[in-house]
Structure 1
Amino acid sequence: MKETASNLKGMYMELGGWSVPANIVSGITTKYNGVSKAPFDSLNMGLHIGDEPEDVVHNRQLLAEAIQFPLDTWILGEQVHGTEIAVATKREAGRGSRELTDSLPSVDGLITNEKGMLLAAFFADCVPLYFFDSTSDWIGMAHAGWRGTVADMAGKMVEALCTNGADRESIQAMIGPCISKNRYEVDDYIVQQIPEEFRAKVLLPSGSDRYYLDLQMLNRLYLLQAGIQDDNILTAAYCTYDSPEFYSHREDQGKTGRMIGFIGMKEEQA
């Protein structure tokens, strides 16, 4: 599996290892250098978990300034652990950036080929999926927990990109930081949702009807199945459970903040 190191910049981790032009900004926030109080301390990006809304918006503004994408250019989906994908345009710019109720309803995946917009999604162990096609300038950002993963969110993102003009052979996919296979124990109910042909590659028995599940590998298999070239799939070598930089829903027993994964194209190439 092709893993990539990333550049930690305090407030966020810049994704490295993939071939993107200088005007592409992509990364995932850490939990550092924000204003949220415990148990969300300190750079919580989620408005939906009980944190003070003004603190969350303040945190988002800090990131907006750091990456030079104003909040009015952000687009966020509601995230319901589904596979609905929206094509984002300038008309939707700013949706979900300041108000939870303003996010795109039922959306877990976003794609666009318009410059000057930031696609974003929330995470705290689930899998961030990033996409870029150099031939068409389409980008994508998706949230894939176990439900989205086994429902083939990865493959559906590829199909959405290709339907709108991306070239399957040149699409690059980045599987971002998430909970690792050593920390993600699941029961037989979840196992039964995984295609049989994938199970031997992503599951390790841990006890009676219990298994460790490799979400990154599972998403990789779906991407390969969708026709993405093996060399065009990269995996971030970080576990959100073990890495102190990140929020982890499982490690923090459900009461924790959220990171934002993001990708955008600046108007002018640097």
Structure 2
Amino acid sequence: MTRIENTFKRLQAEGKRAFVAYVMAGDPDYDTSLELVRGMPAAGVDVIELGLPFTDPMADGPAIQLAASRALDAGMTLRRTLDLARAFRQGDDTTPIVLMGYYNPIYSMGVETFLREAKSAGIDGLIVVDLPPEEDDELCLPARDAGLDFIRLATPTTDDRRLPKVLENSSGFLYYVSITGITGAAAASAADVAPEVARIKRSTDLPVCVGFGIRTAQSAREIAGVADGAVVGSAIVAELAAGKSVAEVLDFVRGLAEGAHTA
């Protein structure tokens, strides 16, 4: 059983929803990023999404685009991102890490090399937003064979005809994008999300976590209340970009986690 599966089973037994937090690897620099990631489990984060910096993050809004630029300017690469995960694992062998990003850096490294290095670094799952299910032979199936979960995105436009294809080789959890558009573009609405999550859960036993548009503890509580978990990224990245210290960002994360956990 993977760390991701163990985490969701534990939370289910405790009657809690999951809190998933995204941070861009290397933003604003390697050391600060590692300090932030290391502090996340104690702040209540159940699953860490580690963003892979890329020059053309097409699904992301300004906050994460700028975070990627800062990380790249600071010398962050795919290999250094895996080094960061490896450093985190020296002190935490429990909290799942999901690497989230785009296929180009992985393709450039080579799929076989990447999967070997990712597994060695302690990565548990992948979210690769620009690889559709029709390309599962490219990375999804090799990742599954290597013991990594491949987490797929579903959106408000994923209708009942498309959903089975999205779910076909997904594992770990399903990430439901609460809005149409880029990250950080609009606020998520629990009233809109609830029927969509219920529809998806009729077709899968995977946990369904909801992200995009969650910025406050109250919003995290409301969204987690209609799903298996809430995902927050842009709001956390924005705190860091505003010049907040790691301790201040972790206080903000703690509030979001408490919101999700009390749903």
- Do the two structures share a fold, i.e. TM-score over 0.5? no
Question: Could you say which structure has the higher strand fraction?
Answer: 1
Tell me the TM-score normalised to structure 2 length.
0.31
Tell me the TM-score normalised to structure 1 length.
0.31
Question: Could you say which structure has the higher helix fraction?
Answer: 2
